[in-house]
């Protein structure tokens, strides 16, 4: 007899939080499903490397699981709140691996991600998509919308965009075209299942608007919440405002994160780092708050580029953020009295 022991993070098979592998046809209602899109050819200018993000995030997630597996009763208690979390015997999480990608054919990858996402969502899965550059959110959201419409005719959707940048151009200059990591929110806004009033940006900073975006912002009263707003009002109030606005009158909300929303001092491993970003601890708190909203039905995290991440902190931060989003599916809350 050879019994399995707890494996340290650096050994064993790699999947997110060491969840079991799954195929699309086996996705069941309510199951969280991790799926990577390891591409970075949605980047017309700037630094690439996000194609290595999904695997690195999965590896970094293993340490988080080990902390619980090696604890007494698989339980850890928060030092401030006394809240106790115990690792579930059976996680409500599985790892699909990566959607099919075609490294020199962005539109073929687009079709693949739309199809894969719609199949996951149609079956009631809660997709957790690992980018990839931020273009990934366009096919990912489109597939999400397709799957939701198949489940429920006339479905209405919301979208929350955590990012230092709006990604709201119509075209990325003369060289990029209309399908890039700088245009994906504009493309998402054109989906018939969503209105501007349910699209919210969180963490914007700097000179991020083109003149056409500035006009649209004024015309539609677009909700663009900035890192300065967060500094002034606190992350909790801002995230709740974002989730409530995105959820208002809709059936489901998609949340997308560009890891560059976190300041470059704490999140250097990304293509377009910024120095007026939010703090890592604010980001982690935000990821814990969004999981309180029943409207949250899909999530992605993009733009982690491990080759720029010389200390490993960015992949670690990304994996911890995702773990916070997934916490209700990974842990039972215990009352220790």
Query: Residues interacting with Mn ion, by CB under 5 A?
Result: 163, 165, 258, 260
Shortest Cβ distance from residue 141 to Mn ion (Å)? 16
Q: Is 189 helix (H, G, I), strand (E, B) or coil?
A: helix
Q: Name which of 58, 52, 77, 55 is nearest 9 in CA terms.
A: 58
Nearer to Mn ion, 146 or 165 (CB): 165
Shortest Cβ distance from residue 70 to Mn ion (Å)? 36
C-beta contacts of 6-15 below 8 A and 24+ residues apart: 6/66, 6/69, 6/70, 7/66, 8/66, 9/59, 9/62, 9/63, 9/65, 9/66, 10/62, 12/62, 14/55, 14/58, 14/59, 14/62, 15/58, 15/95
Contact 63, 321 (CB under 8 A): no
Nearer to Mn ion, 143 or 271 (CB): 271
* Rounded distance between C-alpha atoms, residue 28 and residue 212, angstroms: 43
Shortest Cβ distance from residue 271 to Mn ion (Å)? 8
Nearer to Mn ion, 163 or 300 (CB): 163
Shortest Cβ distance from residue 273 to Mn ion (Å)? 9
Q: Is 158 helix (H, G, I), strand (E, B) or coil?
A: strand
Nearer to Mn ion, 184 or 194 (CB): 184
Nearer to Mn ion, 34 or 43 (CB): 43
Q: Name which of 331, 312, 311, 269 is nearest 65 in CA terms.
A: 331
Shortest Cβ distance from residue 169 to Mn ion (Å)? 12
The DSSP line for 214-260 is HHHHHHHT-EEEEHHHHHHH-HHHHHHHHHHHHHTT-SEEEEEEEGG
- Other C-beta atoms within 10 Å of 248: how many? 14
Shortest Cβ distance from residue 168 to Mn ion (Å)? 11
Burial track 114-142 (b if 16+ CB lie within 10 A, e otherwise)? bbbbbbbbbbebbbbbbbbbbbbbbbbbb
Shortest Cβ distance from residue 268 to Mn ion (Å)? 14
Shortest Cβ distance from residue 75 to Mn ion (Å)? 37
Contact 225, 201 (CB under 8 A): yes
* Rounded distance between C-alpha atoms, residue 158 and residue 252, angstroms: 6
CA atoms within 13 A of residue 336's CA, in its CB half-sphere: 13
Nearer to Mn ion, 58 or 165 (CB): 165
Shortest Cβ distance from residue 248 to Mn ion (Å)? 25
């Amino acid at each position: 007899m050879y019994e399995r022991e707890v494996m340290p993070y650096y050994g064993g098979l790699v999947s997110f939080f060491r969840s079991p592998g799954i195929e699309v046809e086996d996705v069941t209602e309510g199951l969280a499903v991790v799926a990577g899109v390891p591409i970075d050819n949605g980047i017309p200018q700037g630094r690439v490397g996000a194609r290595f993000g999904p695997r690195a995030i999965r590896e970094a997630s293993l340490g988080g699981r080990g902390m619980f597996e090696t604890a007494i009763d698989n339980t850890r208690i928060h030092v401030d709140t006394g809240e106790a979390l115990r690792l579930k015997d059976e996680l409500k999480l599985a790892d699909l691996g990566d959607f099919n990608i075609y490294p020199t054919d962005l539109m073929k990858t687009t079709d693949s991600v739309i199809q894969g996402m719609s199949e996951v969502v149609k079956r009631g899965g809660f997709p957790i998509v690992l980018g990839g550059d931020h273009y990934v959110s366009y096919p990912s959201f489109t597939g999400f919308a397709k799957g939701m419409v198949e489940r429920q005719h006339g479905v209405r959707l919301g979208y929350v965009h955590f990012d230092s940048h709006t990604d709201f151009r119509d075209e990325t200059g003369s060289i990029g075209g209309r399908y890039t990591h700088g245009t994906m929110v504009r493309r998402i806004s054109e989906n018939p299942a969503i209105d501007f009033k349910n699209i919210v940006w969180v963490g914007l900073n700097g000179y991020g608007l083109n003149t056409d975006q500035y006009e649209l912002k004024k015309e539609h009263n677009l909700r663009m919440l900035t890192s300065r707003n967060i500094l002034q009002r606190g992350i909790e109030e801002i995230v709740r405002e974002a989730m409530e606005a995105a959820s208002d009158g809709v059936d489901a909300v998609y949340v997308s994160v560009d890891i560059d929303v976190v300041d470059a001092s704490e999140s250097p491993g990304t293509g377009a780092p910024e120095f007026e970003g939010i703090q890592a601890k604010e980001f982690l708190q935000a990821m814990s708050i969004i999981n309180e909203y029943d409207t949250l039905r899909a999530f992605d995290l993009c733009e982690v580029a491990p080759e720029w991440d010389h200390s490993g902190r960015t992949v670690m931060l990304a994996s911890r953020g995702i773990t916070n989003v997934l916490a209700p599916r990974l842990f039972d809350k215990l009352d220790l009295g």
